Structure 1
Amino acid sequence: MGYYVTVEPNVKYFVEDLNPEGKKTILFLHGWPGSHKLFEYQFDQLPKLGYRCIGIDTRGFGDSDKPFRGYDFDRLSDDVRCVVEELGLCDFTLLGHSNGGAIACRYMGRHKGFGVSKLVLVAAAAPSLIKRQNFPYGVDKDFVLNIIENTYKDRPQMLRGFGDMFFYQHISQAFSDWFFQLGLQAAGWATAAIPNTWIREVLFNDLRSICVPTLIVHGIHDMVVPFQLGEIQNQYIKNSRLVPFQFSGHGVFYDEKDKFNEVVTNFIEV
């Protein structure tokens, strides 16, 4: 079931709500530059097991509205709070992949984890995607600057290149084309705005504030968000557990989808 939720005047979020009568709720936050449809292989299976699965499209992406502004982590986490309140969610698992993981961290810090009982960070872009002074982890700043430049120069070609480094396991050409189309759904200005946020913002204090049980899932072959960042998240978050995925890149939810679904559901049920 799909519907829209207003997060601020003239800005609506698309919400995919599967199995609303489910025993436990998982709210999925997708990564850049995709949409909630990236979690197709979770939405195929987890509702069968009795879970309510809610996927939302971040502003600027998928089927949500695409305003020119509002792509900082504060605003994006406020958007999530609006959805949580509108749907009356409580005692739910918040699952964020990549940039969605960064938004989840800011939500936990800024909104004190409102309604969240458990957190799942999947290849999360936190506490800083880029290397900084006194933080020699992550990717070089030039990597992100090139994404921004190529978004403005030739966004389809940029998306093709990004897709090529997203998965570790072999994917078909048809799957690659599908992934590419998800990226094209986004607005160009939103596609560039999120990488600018990666440069401007950090999430160290947000990680320190997390106190709910947290599962950290990270592919050891991740070429987008290096595995070391998962290890650092594990150090910062008190009640956390890191599960390395030996045969996954950035798209861990697809590279090892059966194992991913099992690990996530086992964590929720504990």
Structure 2
Amino acid sequence: MGRYIQVEDHVKIYVEDIGEGIPVIFLHGWPANSQMFEYQYSILPKEGYRCIGMDFRGFGKSDAPWESYSFDRMADDLKAVIDELQIENAALIGFSMGGAVATRYMARHQGKGISHLALMGSATPVFTQRPDFEYNMTKEDLNAQLIIPTYEDRPKMLSQFGLKFTHHKSRAALMVWLELLCFQASNHGTIKAAESLRDEDLRADLPHINVPTVIFQGQKDKICDPKLAELTQQSIPNSRLVAFEDSGHAMMFDEQEKFNSELLLFLNQMSGGNNNSGVASHNL
């Protein structure tokens, strides 16, 4: 079921709410929307989980205001969704930019309503290089590869970005579908969220995370260097890193069976391993 939730600056955020049971909130990556988790939505409700997918402002079916695409603002939107739906003891799943917003939420709002966290190909602790941070792309590279081309030819930018998204190139139809999801974003939302990825720093946020946390990372990732996952894991007390050796950025597509199995293993910890049907009940 889809619905809109209006947040404090009168922006309407689109939310999908599928299934019943333990809530699992999905935060998508740049510049897609929550439908990128389609292959989790089709499995988790059968296992007793309620899937809640939120489109960030400017993306998917949410409103696209001209301004306000900071991680603070998007974390506040997430809090409004959690408050409106009266969510408690949820798992928060953040992929790429969604991982950055999830991290900001955990620090800014003290993890309200969240009992478990999964960061996947996460744009943390910092997405671009700094004088004291030597990893991943430079700000100049981000401008040249993502922001300037979006002003000039967004479809071409998305096609080129998509080439880096997965390690396996045999699933061409799936990548066309994912590219179509990215076309649903607003042009200015795409640009301004990319500016947040370029400029924001989450190093001070990560130590505030105090719930069980798992970090999924494709070892052939060309968007978020695997070193970022190692640094993220080192900054979150008692977190655990799961490596996807044969995956690029989007391990949920490159190693779909392992991804869904590892996600279910993690989620089943929330119910002490006693959730309805267990990990092995599906042909993933």
**What TM bracket, shorter-length normalisation?**
over 0.9
How many angstroms apart in 2 are the aligned matches of 1:205 and 1:110? 11
Question: Does the 8 A contact of 2:206 with 2:232 survive in 1?
Answer: yes
Q: Which residue of 1 aligns with 2:62?
A: 64
How many angstroms apart in 2 are the aligned matches of 1:219 and 1:71? 27
- Structure 1, gaps ≥5 residues long: none
How many angstroms apart in 2 are the aligned matches of 1:142 and 1:28? 30
How many angstroms apart in 1 are the aligned matches of 2:164 and 2:197? 19
How many angstroms apart in 1 are the aligned matches of 2:33 and 2:40? 14
Whichever residue aligns with residue 265 of structure 1, its letter is L
| Residues 1:221 and 2:214 are matched in the alignment | no
How many angstroms apart in 2 are the aligned matches of 1:167 and 1:240? 25
Question: Does the 8 A contact of 2:128 with 2:199 survive in 1?
Answer: no
Q: Which residue of 2 aligns with 1:136?
A: 134
Cα displacement string for residues 106-125 of structure 1 (whole angstroms, at most 9, x for unaligned residues)? 00010010111000000110
Give 1:144 shift: 0.9
How many angstroms apart in 1 are the aligned matches of 2:120 and 2:171? 23
DSSP-derived class of the 1:8 partner = coil
How many angstroms apart in 2 are the aligned matches of 1:197 and 1:240? 25
Give 1:261 shift: 1.2
Give 1:131 shift: 1.1
Whichever residue aligns with residue 186 of structure 1, its letter is A
Q: Which residue of 2 aligns with 1:17?
A: 17
DSSP-derived class of the 1:199 partner = helix
DSSP-derived class of the 2:117 partner = strand
Cα displacement string for residues 76-112 of structure 1 (whole angstroms, at most 9, x for unaligned residues)? 0000000000000000000000000000000001001
Q: Which residue of 1 aligns with 2:273?
A: none
Q: Which moved more, 1:8-17 or 1:30-39?
A: 8-17
How many angstroms apart in 2 are the aligned matches of 1:129 and 1:30? 16
DSSP-derived class of the 1:127 partner = coil
How many angstroms apart in 1 are the aligned matches of 2:200 and 2:228? 15
How many angstroms apart in 2 are the aligned matches of 1:98 and 1:220? 14
How many angstroms apart in 1 are the aligned matches of 2:45 and 2:255? 19
Within 5 A, what are the aligned runs for 1:85-100?
85-100=83-98
CA-based RMSD of the aligned residues comes to: 1.0
Q: Which residue of 1 aligns with 2:277?
A: none
Q: Which residue of 2 aligns with 1:243?
A: 242
Q: Which residue of 2 aligns with 1:174?
A: 173
Dislocated runs of 4+, deviation >4 Å: none
Q: Which residue of 2 aligns with 1:263?
A: 262
Give 1:184 shift: 0.8
Give 1:3 shift: 0.8
- Structure 2, gaps ≥5 residues long: 270-284
Identity, % of aligned positions? 44
Give 1:199 shift: 2.2
TM-score (norm 1): 0.97
Whichever residue aligns with residue 108 of structure 1, its letter is M
Give 1:143 shift: 2.2
Cα displacement string for residues 54-92 of structure 1 (whole angstroms, at most 9, x for unaligned residues)? 101000000111111110010000000000000000000
Q: Which residue of 2 aligns with 1:84?
A: 82
Which of 48, 51, 65 is the matching residue for 1:53? 51
Describe the shift of the 1:89–1:171 C-alpha distance in structure 2 as closer, same or farther (beyond 3 A). farther
Which of 123, 126, 134 is the matching residue for 1:125? 123
How many angstroms apart in 2 are the aligned matches of 1:18 and 1:28? 11
Give 1:172 shift: 3.2
How many angstroms apart in 2 are the aligned matches of 1:234 and 1:159? 30
TM-score (norm 2): 0.92
DSSP-derived class of the 1:96 partner = strand
Which of 8, 30, 33 is the matching residue for 1:32? 30
- Work out the number of aligned pairs and report it: 268
| Residues 1:194 and 2:186 are matched in the alignment | no
| Residues 1:159 and 2:187 are matched in the alignment | no
